[in-house]
Amino acid sequence: QDQWPFELRRARVIPAVDYVQAQRARGRLIQEVRKSFTVDAFIGNATDWEKVCVGNLVGMPVMIVPVGFAPLENPPSSGTRRRRAITTGIYAPPRHDHIALALAMAYQSATDHHKQRPPIDDLGPHESVVHSLSDTYPSVQMPA
């Protein structure tokens, strides 16, 4: 079930005073992060959505890069070659996007993880491959 309609309706009833106070608190948090960021960058978790959101909240740029694949936790009983992608984040100080980008480029030039693709020819019994946008979104007309 899509959560966005509920979240958008809920956001309409936030009083302006609360919003302004939250923005002031966010500004203080951004200043604290800038003062306490004593390294050029760090490698951190990119699979925990809450940690990534905190970085976004304070304007900390992050580049998500693939680091490989892991076996599925609950594979189908028929056995499968399918794997799940593993990623990590390269975090840089606020307003230093170029550092995260440069480190991601250096990482990708030293590895081939970004070129690997998971096998898709081994689907489970209830899975299908979407062949085109019009299969997923029937209202989308694909050019001939």
Residue 1 belongs to domain spanning: 1-36
Mean pLDDT on 49-58:
79
Residue 141 within a domain: no
Q: Are residues 67 and 21 in the same domain?
A: no
Q: Are residues 16 and 43 in the same domain?
A: no
Which H/E stretch holds residue 70? Answer: strand 62-71
Question: Does residue 53 carry a pLDDT above 60?
Answer: yes
Mean pLDDT on 105-133:
71
**Confidence band for 140, pLDDT divided at 50, 70 and 90:** very low
Residue 142 within a domain: no
pLDDT score, position 128: 58
Q: Are residues 91 and 31 in the same domain?
A: no
Q: Are residues 50 and 23 in the same domain?
A: no
Tell me the residue length of the chain: 144
Residue 29 within a domain: yes
Q: Are residues 29 and 63 in the same domain?
A: no
Question: Does residue 113 carry a pLDDT above 60?
Answer: yes
Q: Are residues 65 and 78 in the same domain?
A: yes
* Ordered DSSP codes for 8-53: HHHHTTS-HHHHHHHHHHHHHHHHHHHHH--SS-EEEESS-HHHHH
Mean pLDDT on 73-85:
66
Residue 125 CA to residue 128 CA, distance in Å, equals: 8
Residue 67 CA to residue 63 CA, distance in Å, equals: 12
Task: Please state the domain count of the chain.
Answer: 2
Q: Are residues 58 and 80 in the same domain?
A: yes
